[in-house]
């Protein structure tokens, strides 16, 4: 097996007295698509934020390709890309400018050519010089995806990239994800469309109230549950866990 691209060891995250992640350990391997599923508030974004630098774990360690995300943050952040769940955009800059700026911020010499290629890939070239606030919601999200790729990350996090994106573009986006994976990028995604995970993911992790209930390859998970859909399996697991918490 290839070495882990991501290794989380006993990661705990507390917000004040609230525990959002409870002793979480996880490995993600080179070239795979890993789907992180879980209900609202399970801690999916929290975990992604701890890895990408938006938050800091309270305990435990996180490594990207063997580099610690706290001590070697300059190295790990060059290796990691993030499409955040919340859409954000800088009203001061156009899509083209935003991409050029993001390259520089990521420590890559800004290249207009690369920016234009990305705009084309995400069907934004017509809007390259528009005010970003005039883009539609789906376009803004595609711009976020383009921005996350400016530095050619080895490990890409997509936190609900398809929320609010129309069917056609969703398909295109997942196709783009497949292509990235084919080019060697490791991908961790979250989605509430379980069937998307069923189609795409090599492995699946189910997070519930800050705890990983399960991490398994899609194949063996589906096989184990003989013919049932991932959505059914997912719901059963979550309900069982809810019952356990209630008891």
Ligand X SMILES: Nc1ncnc2c1ncn2[C@@H]1O[C@H](COP(=O)(O)OP(=O)(O)OP(=O)(O)O)[C@@H](O)[C@H]1O
84 is an interface residue for other proteins by CB under 8 A: yes
Q: Which stretch binds other proteins (CB under 8 A): 35-43, 80-88, 172-180, 209-217?
A: 80-88
25: DSSP letter: E
List, in order, residues 6 or more apart from 225 with CB less than 8 Å away.
232, 233
Minimum CB–partner distance for residue 91 and other proteins (Å)? 7
Minimum CB–partner distance for residue 84 and other proteins (Å)? 6
Dihedral pair phi/psi, residue 61, rounded to 5°: -135, 155
131 is an interface residue for other proteins by CB under 8 A: no
Dihedral pair phi/psi, residue 39, rounded to 5°: -65, 170
For residue 159, the number of C-alpha atoms closer than 13 Å in the C-beta half-sphere is 21
Which residue in the set 5, 6, 35, 43 belongs to the binding site for ligand X (CB under 6 A)? Answer: 43
17 is an interface residue for other proteins by CB under 8 A: no
Q: Which stretch binds other proteins (CB under 8 A): 68-76, 117-125, 183-191, 235-243?
A: 68-76
Whole-number Å distance between alpha carbons of 86 and 133? 15
Which residue, 80 or 221, is less far from other proteins as judged by CB? 80
- Helix H or strand E encompassing 156: strand 155-159
Two structure tokens written together for 162:
């398809």
Minimum CB–partner distance for residue 81 and Mg ion (Å)? 17
Whole-number Å distance between alpha carbons of 93 and 133? 9
Instruction: Give which of ligand X, Mg ion, other proteins, none residue 235 binds (C-beta under 5 to 8 Å, depending on kind).
Output: none
Which residue, 26 or 96, is less far from ligand X as judged by CB? 26
Is residue 97 within 8 A of residue 127, CB to CB? The reply is no
The CB density around residue 68, as the number of other CB atoms within 10 Å, is 14
Q: Which stretch binds ligand X (CB under 6 A): 35-43, 98-106, 118-126, 223-231?
A: 35-43
Residue 35: strand, helix, or coil: strand
Site string for ligand X, 178-207 (x = CB under 6 A): ------------------------------
User: What residues make contact with other proteins under the rule CB under 8 A?
Assistant: 15, 49, 52-56, 73-75, 77-78, 80-82, 84, 86-93, 101-110, 147
**Given the rule CB under 6 A, which residues bind ligand X?**
15, 18, 20, 38, 40-46, 85
């Amino acid at each position: 097996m290839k070495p882990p691209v991501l290794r989380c060891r006993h990661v705990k995250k507390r917000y004040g007295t609230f525990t959002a992640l409870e002793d979480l350990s996880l490995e993600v391997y080179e070239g795979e698509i890993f789907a992180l599923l879980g209900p609202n508030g399970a801690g999916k974004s929290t975990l992604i934020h701890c890895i990408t630098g938006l938050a800091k774990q309270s305990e435990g360690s996180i490594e990207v390709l063997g580099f610690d995300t706290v001590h070697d943050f300059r190295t790990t952040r060059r290796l990691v890309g993030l499409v955040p769940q919340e859409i954000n955009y800088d009203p001061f800059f156009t899509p083209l400018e935003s991409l050029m700026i993001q390259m520089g911020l990521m420590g890559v010499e800004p290249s207009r050519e690369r920016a234009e290629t990305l705009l084309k890939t995400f069907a934004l070239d017509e809007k390259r010089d528009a005010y970003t606030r005039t883009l539609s919601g789906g376009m803004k999200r595609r711009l976020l995806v383009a921005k996350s790729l400016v530095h050619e990350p080895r490990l890409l996090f997509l936190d609900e990239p398809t929320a609010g994106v129309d069917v056609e573009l969703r398909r295109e986006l997942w196709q783009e994800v497949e292509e990235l994976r084919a080019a060697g990028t490791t991908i961790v995604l979250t989605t509430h469309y379980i069937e998307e995970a069923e189609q795409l993911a090599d492995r699946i992790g189910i997070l519930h109230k800050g705890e990983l209930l399960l991490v398994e390859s899609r194949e063996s998970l589906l096989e184990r549950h003989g013919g049932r859909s991932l959505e059914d399996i997912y719901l059963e697991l979550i309900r069982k866990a809810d019952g356990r918490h209630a008891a």
